Structure 1
Amino acid sequence: MVCIKSFIVLSVFSAVAAALPAFPQRREVPQEHSHEAILRTVRTTLNLNNPDKIVDPVFSLLGDAAAKQGAGSITDLACFQQAVADQAFTNAKTAGDSASMINALMFRAVERNTGGVGVKSALCTQTAKNPEVAAITQHQDPASDGAAATNKAIVLALAKEIAKLGGDPQLALQTGTFAPGSKSDNTGKGNSCDDANDATGCIISQKLLVEDATAAEINAAVAGISGSTGSGTATSTDCADATVTVTVTPTVTATVDTAATCAPPSSTVVVTVTAAPTARR
């Protein structure tokens, strides 16, 4: 009789467990909430239009086994994180929200978790719809081979894309990851944190973030972009001043004296204007 009761209890428990919603599988070292501020913003932007029915962006930062539970119609899990960033970027662009566009790019650069210390995450081989997203890939485990150079290149590429959008390129540094752990650590512990209740992001709040480049290196990388340099033309048919509207970010209007170019009557003036971008944090 005891055995029968035990069987009944186990059967009921199994049925209830099967009916429960699937949750992300917990690994020994979760870190998908380390950059919580970035995650929360991309979640809001993605939900403006989510055609792939992605359950939540956080799934794209997990290993494949857990990621597929929230991937919606995304089947190539190596491209899951890119798909989230790409759709969020599109939504923000449609809304004219440059700050959220920048955040989507930052999300694309965040490290995706893997099964152990020093293990690299697979790179997406599909091309993103937005070239800004396509220019970036995710950080790799800091203990993996060549990670320092790889992650530095990612941050510099991100800084350039942020600068093109008129943002503060130094924001790229906030996508950095942790100090490298030991590959011999079989527990996979590494150096990480995970706190869904820390709105800032525990990697920043706990001062665990290791910047991949210096501020000077960021400035050097965006030197030709961060000033938002543009050019425009104007044609003058008399000796009056010509007003030239230059397409830059932000838009700048320049006035050019054409007195010296009145002959021939129609002259073309090319103007280059450098305007400081507005930083968005």
Structure 2
Amino acid sequence: MKQSIIALSLVGAVLGRPGVNRYNFEKREVPQEHAHRNVNLEVSKSLQLDNPDNIQDPIFGLLGAAAAKAGAGNIADADCLQQATADQAFTNAKAAGDVNGMTFALIYRALERNTGSVGLASVPCTSIQAVNPEIAALQQHQDPASDGAAALNKQIAQDLAAQIGAIGGDPTLANEASTFAPGQVGDPTAKGNTCDDDTDDAGCINSLGLRVDDLTADEALAAAQGGAGAGNAAAANGTANAGSGKANSGKANQNASNAAADACNANSGTAANNAGNAGNAASGSASNNAGNAAADAGNAANATAGAGAGAASFGSCSDPTVTFSQAPSDGRQEAAFEATDLTNFPHGSALNIGVISSFICDQLVNKCKADQAAVDQCDQADAAVKASGLKGQAAADSFNQALGF
């Protein structure tokens, strides 16, 4: 989001009253925080149920830090106001068993924030840890003209779809967080492609057809696949299960079959080699026995790594494994899956291994610059573990072993 001049005038008493959803501040030169007004309105409903930090209104979390401070209440770091607002709204909706409220809190967390010029990325929240791991797993969309925004925003939308599916919501709603088409970097008005209408309850980005969706419906469903896991997550959170099992696509099943076939072929080759080695050993040749021992060691490694592991390079990310932890690092109060290397694979924990394994495979492409062999191997391992029905440590071991770890 873009803004070159911020002239914010808060009517605090009005904004703070429950049921008041019109945001009363002076028009700025290039505002657009009302573009997703439909999302703001839903989050406002949840926030008003319990607001211990006195956050004035969800709209402030979408502003730049200087303007956001006016409505931040007790949140000291204005760059974390969006996350804090989403976190409190999610907590309230979860306590009420409101899947729709939780869904829109997640969407709100992924909305783009205002910045000072076209192409300028917004500052991430680093000083506050979200209470809800579902919120902690997300970040805000970035200006679509900023460096790497297309790939990053799509990744954010996929993460959002996965979290929505995990709480029993409709993953295709992840596109509600999508932003505008890229503006022209250097635009002296700092306007870009925006809209702003604080009377359009549907959100002017939607009403005017300006929203550029990050995902197709199939991509959103694929990001949330692993229906049984999503159902378990919903039950654990005390929420309704919306039947996210439909996210298991034929493509995933096909990939699982391919992975199984590859593993079978690898094992068959190993068995044949071992049989040949055994025959050679019987010949009594010392040199053959030495060679056979080396071959057997190689075969064992191949059996562990799976098909093609020897040729795979994971790029700058040396540990793409999954950990199943009884005490996840993000504070979740139940055993869950998370990436072992949270620096290169920053994602909140999940009850469904598919959420984490899919994210890891995506990061291999977007961040790690892994080669195609590694990406294919990860995709096969991802599909196989989702189709296996394995749970807990067994699921983590299966995925990791398929990657050669």
Q: TM-score range by the shorter chain?
A: 0.7 to 0.9
Letter in 2 for 1:52: D
1:86-97 alignment runs, 5 A limit: 86-97=87-98
Alignment of 1:65-214 (within 5 A): 65-125=66-126, 126-214=128-216
Q: How high is the TM-score relative to the length of structure 2? A: 0.51
Supply the distance in 2 between the matched residues of 1:20 and 1:228 (Cα, whole angstroms).
Answer: 41
| Contact 1:24–1:66, Cα closer than 8 Å, also in 2 | no
Contact 1:160 1:225 in 2 (8 A): no
Q: Deviations over 1:228-260 (max 9, x none)?
A: 455xxxxxxxxxxxxxxxx996499xxxxxxxx
TM-score by length of 1: 0.73
In angstroms, what is the RMSD of aligned CA positions?
A: 2.5
Higher RCO (C-alpha under 8 Å, 6+ residues apart): 1
Identity value in percent: 55
Native 8 Å contact 1:163 1:226 kept in 2:
no
> 1 CA distance for matches of 2:156 and 2:97?
25
What is the CA distance between 1:55 and its match in structure 2?
1.1
Structure 1: distance between partners of 2:33 and 2:95? 27
CA–CA separation in structure 2 for the residues paired with 1:45 and 1:90? 9
CA distance, structure 1, for counterparts of residue 228 and residue 159 of structure 2: 13
The runs of at least 4 consecutive aligned structure 1 residues that moved more than 6 Å come to none
Residues paired across the two proteins, number? 220
Q: 1:34 to 1:226 in 2, by over 3 A?
A: farther
Aligned partner letter, 1:105: L
Greater share of strand: 1
What's the counterpart of residue 220 of structure 1? 222
CA distance in 2, matches of 1:20, 1:202: 22
Q: Residue 210 of structure 2: SS of its match in structure 1?
A: coil
Closer/same/farther in 2, CA of residues 108 and 20 from structure 1, 3 Å limit: closer
Distance in structure 2 (CA, Å) of the matches to 1:194 and 1:135: 28
Unaligned stretches of 5+ in structure 2? 1-8, 13-23, 233-237, 244-388, 390-405
Kindly indicate whether the alpha-carbon contact (under 8 Å) linking 2:157 and 2:214 is maintained by their aligned counterparts in 1: yes
Q: How far, CA to CA, are the matches of 2:10 and 2:65 in structure 1? A: 20
| One-letter amino acid of the structure 1 residue matched with residue 60 of structure 2 | F
Q: Deviations over 1:67-101 (max 9, x none)?
A: 10111111111110000000000011111111101
| Higher fraction of helix | 2
Does the CA contact (< 8 Å) of 1:162 and 1:168 recur in 2? Answer: yes
> How far did 1:217 drift?
1.7
Given residue 179 of structure 1, which amino acid in structure 2 is its aligned partner? A
Give the secondary structure class of the aligned counterpart of 1:173: helix
Distance in 2 of aligned mates of 1:51 and 1:249? 27
Give the Cα separation in 1 of the matches to 2:211 and 2:51: 31
- The 1:248/1:94 distance shift into structure 2, 3 A limit, reads closer
